[in-house]
Amino acid sequence: MAHGDVSRDVTAAAVTRAADRTPVRAPATAKINLALVAGRARQDGRHEVVTVLQRVDVADRISLEPAACLTVTGFPQDTLVRAALERLAELASAEPHWHVHIEKHIPVAAGLAGGSSDAATALRLVNGVLGDPLDPEELHALAASLGADVPFFLTDGPQLATGIGTDLARLALPTDYWVVLVLPDGESKRSTAAVYEEFDRCGGSERFAERRAALDEALARVRRPRDLAALPPNDLASSPLAEELRELGAFRADVSGAGPAVYGLFVHRQTAQAARRRLRARGRTWLTVPAWYG
């Protein structure tokens, strides 16, 4: 499989619209981790992971138009989109005459990878209007240098991410279910370093090969949405909200990434809507569905 697969329709639209200097726009979707198994730290300090990544239809909006110089507006805290485009300009030997606007909807620092999605979407849009664009492998390598989640957002469909999370393989998983997302009030995302420090201190990497094999076996048996319930729980984070979601009818519920966002998967929309209503007092909630691409 070629890494960093760029959506043809987005690229074609980018070329056409750049010609008449109208903005090019694309959604930058959030993701959830349907499973996350972590292992020991490598020599470079990064941890081995095996994780199942799935887009969901909660999205920022990214727009691109020509400009005198590189500007990124709409989200003052951004550093990743700017860094991505500066690096792209350097690698492509291009002048960064681009204005990118971020319309933010994905909550920040929630375990939903909104910043990574924004960066990858901006890369896709700008690469699509370059006269000499980077090839998919080069774009994937650039994305991987920015963060472990960024390459995923250059691909379509659910993916199995291995290594440090940047080696991707497409998965044939069902996507006909509803997703309730909950961002609990009063909780904030811990730093990645702190999460892995606690994981190591508690001996979390023990039996990594066994847990990975269990994940692989569970994936091989998935035929319908309910089969996703057999995937192992998140190694890095847990939440009592996951149990509440299961009690409210979710066939699977877990923390996304290092949290604090929690998701529940439901077969029926009515059940999902009822669960969302019950949990609104606990924090921000969304009722959404899996997304195939951004």
Q: Give me the CATH number covering residue 247.
A: 3.30.70.890
Which of 10-14, 116-120, 175-179, 233-237 shows the lowest per-residue confidence on average (mean pLDDT)? Answer: 10-14
Residue 62: which of 17, 114, 111, 132 has the closest Cα? 114
End residue of a domain, out of 170, 196, 222: 170
Listed in sequence order, the DSSP H helices in 168-281 are 192-201, 208-220, 240-247, 269-279
Residues 214 and 196: their CA atoms lie apart, in Å, by 21
Catalytic residue among 5, 31, 118, 235: 31
DSSP β-bridge partners for residue 167: 162
According to DSSP, residue 260 is labeled S
End residue of a domain, out of 128, 146, 170: 170
- Domain encompassing residue 236: 178-288
**Strand, helix or coil at 40?**
strand
pTM above the 0.95 mark?
no
135 catalytically annotated: no
189 catalytically annotated: no
Q: What digits encode the pLDDT tens for the residues 10-27?
A: 444 444 444 456 789 999
End residue of a domain, out of 170, 199, 231: 170
Residue 1 falls inside a structural domain: no
Which of 15-29, 33-47, 89-103, 186-200 shows the lowest per-residue confidence on average (mean pLDDT)? Answer: 15-29
Q: What digits encode the pLDDT tens for the residues 168-192?
A: 999 999 999 999 999 999 887 777 7
Which of 65-74, 163-172, 180-189, 261-270 shows the lowest per-residue confidence on average (mean pLDDT)? Answer: 180-189
Counting the structural domains of the chain, the total is 2
56 and 137 inside one domain: yes
Residue 13: the pLDDT is 45
124 and 229 inside one domain: no
61 and 197 inside one domain: no
143 and 254 inside one domain: no
16 and 144 inside one domain: yes
Q: Give me the CATH number covering residue 88.
A: 3.30.230.10
Residues 27-38 have a mean pLDDT of 97
Residue 21: the pLDDT is 67
Catalytic residue among 5, 60, 78, 149: 149
Residue 61 falls inside a structural domain: yes
Residue 2 falls inside a structural domain: no
Q: How many CB atoms lie within 10 A of CB 160?
A: 19
Residue 140: the pLDDT is 98
185 and 214 inside one domain: yes
Q: Tell me the CA end-to-end span of the chain in Å, nearest whole number.
A: 19
- The answer to whether 80 and 119 have CB atoms below 8 angstroms apart is yes
